[in-house]
Amino acid sequence: MSTKPQSSSGLEGIIATRSAICEVDEDNCELYYYGYSIKDLAENSSFEEVAYLLLHGKLPNKKRLESFKKKLLNERNIPEKALDVIKRLPRDTDPMDVLKIAVGDLQTMDPDASLNSNEANMRKAIRLIAKIPTVITTHYHFIHGNIVVKPHKELSFASNFLYMLNGKIPDDYESEVLDKSLILYAEHELNASTFAARIVASTLSDMHSAVIAAIAALKGPLHGGANERAMEMILKIERPERAEEWVRNALLRKRRIMGFGHRVYKKEDPRSPIIKKLSKGLSERRGERRWFDISQIVEKVMNTEKGLHANLDFYSSSAYYLLDIPILLYTPIFVVSRVTGWVAHIMEQYKDNRLIRPRAEYIGPAKREYIPLEDRS
């Protein structure tokens, strides 16, 4: 009888694979992408540099970065046929469902779709990273009857997203806040959506299919959907003086406060203080401190009452709100960034693949005799 390792609810604490991409050091509340600390990357790099790092395992030199940026720039547009598919979707289609459909549609037009070499996958990865922002803003403008803003030919990745969304060149500080938030969201080891992508890749299915599975997983409110619900909660609280009582009542009713807690970080999520500082800076520049002040009170109550800490989603919500990003786009922006981590893990899985197939501990009925239909009561 083989001795199977004990199951753990939600695979908590289970080491499911080996990976060189990301190290989550929960004891010291640190996070590293290929050995670089998230603090150093957020402080000194651009999202394009970090995307390159995740795809290639090292930071680019100037020449390689310029060439990578050019590749992304050249792939920002989406084909007319893909636009038609997005246009035909019901107006109230969840933007995360639009992304699943659009990635599937882009796959039908990708010249490398049927190839699975590392070079072909690298080209597919760059197209997905470059095109997903355009899908999101195009769909947003369609459903609001606006003129679609085509991708800018020069702006940086983060500036281009804000430009396509708002139709105007964003100011440097706003672009910098989004750029840094994209760095923070880019990769996080074996979170649910990345694990979903690796499972699909381990069957030797294709990259687009693995990304669609990851988008599906990220949509859930216990994972990527938390940033939207956190902002909805902050708006419901409405004023700082209502925050403490509101949260206490919610906890009394056993409600989950979105943006708090983490399966791995039982102390601080190292990304939270970085995005919190950005949200504070935005609120001071905009002279709109209300949402940040509410957030700080909610954070204090959660810390003292539940011993729970804010995760990346919590202060991302007020930061995005202050960037005038519509709430229903917060989780799609998580996709804009995390697709870099997903494709890195997909390519790593292909490199040293073994089908991912864990076991289940059987807790069903004991063995029993078969009773023909006519004899069943």
The nearer residue to ligand SDX, 98 or 335, going by C-beta atoms, is 335
Residue 31 near residue 270 (C-beta atoms within 8 A):
yes
Smallest gap from Cβ 175 to ligand SDX, in A, equals 22
The DSSP string of 233-253 is HHHHH-SHHHHHHHHHHHHHT
- By the 10 Å C-beta count (0-12 exposed, 13-18 middle, 19+ buried), 192 is classed as middle
Smallest gap from Cβ 140 to ligand SDX, in A, equals 23
- Under rule CB under 6 A, residue 348 binds ligand SDX: no
- Under rule CB under 6 A, residue 308 binds ligand SDX: yes
Q: At 23, is the secondary structure helix, strand, or coil?
A: strand
As given in the structure block, the two tokens for residue 186 are: 């880019």
Distance CA 217, CA 215 (A): 5
- Under rule CB under 6 A, residue 337 binds ligand SDX: no
From the candidates 188, 206, 313, 345, give the one annotated as an active-site residue. 313
- Under rule CB under 6 A, residue 290 binds ligand SDX: no
Smallest gap from Cβ 189 to ligand SDX, in A, equals 7
Q: At 273, is the secondary structure helix, strand, or coil?
A: helix
- Under rule CB under 6 A, residue 258 binds ligand SDX: yes
The one-character DSSP state at 356 is: -
The one-character DSSP state at 112 is: T
Distance CA 282, CA 279 (A): 5
Residue 23 near residue 35 (C-beta atoms within 8 A):
yes
172 classed as catalytic: no
Which residues ranging from 65 to 84 are in contact with ligand SDX (CB under 6 A)?
none
Element (H, E) at 284: helix 272-286
User: Segment near ligand SDX (CB under 6 A), from 58-66, 85-93, 125-133, 311-319?
Assistant: 311-319
User: Segment near ligand SDX (CB under 6 A), from 43-51, 62-70, 305-313, 320-328?
Assistant: 305-313
- Under rule CB under 6 A, residue 270 binds ligand SDX: no
Smallest gap from Cβ 193 to ligand SDX, in A, equals 7
- Under rule CB under 6 A, residue 163 binds ligand SDX: no
- Under rule CB under 6 A, residue 309 binds ligand SDX: no
Residue 147 near residue 137 (C-beta atoms within 8 A):
no
Distance CA 168, CA 67 (A): 26
- Under rule CB under 6 A, residue 39 binds ligand SDX: no
From the candidates 262, 269, 309, 345, give the one annotated as an active-site residue. 262
- Under rule CB under 6 A, residue 260 binds ligand SDX: yes
Q: Which residue reads 């699909």 in tokens?
A: 200
208 classed as catalytic: no
The one-character DSSP state at 310 is: B
- Under rule CB under 6 A, residue 42 binds ligand SDX: no
- Among the listed residues 46, 121, 175, 191, the single contact to ligand SDX using CB under 6 A: 191
Binding mask 196-235 for ligand SDX (x = CB under 6 A): --------------------------xx--x---------
Buried residues in 70-99 as b, exposed as e (16+ CB within 10 A) = ebbbebbebeeebbebbeebeeeeebbebb
Residue 89 near residue 98 (C-beta atoms within 8 A):
yes
- By the 10 Å C-beta count (0-12 exposed, 13-18 middle, 19+ buried), 346 is classed as buried
- Among the listed residues 262, 276, 280, 345, the single contact to ligand SDX using CB under 6 A: 262
Phi-psi region of 35 (alpha: psi -120 to 50; beta: other; left: phi over 0): left
Binding residues with ligand SDX: total (CB under 6 A): 19
- Under rule CB under 6 A, residue 332 binds ligand SDX: no
The nearer residue to ligand SDX, 86 or 190, going by C-beta atoms, is 190
- Under rule CB under 6 A, residue 330 binds ligand SDX: no
List residues with catalytic annotation. 262, 313
Residues lying near ligand SDX in the complex (CB under 6 A) are found at 10, 188, 191, 222-223, 226, 256-263, 306, 308, 311-313
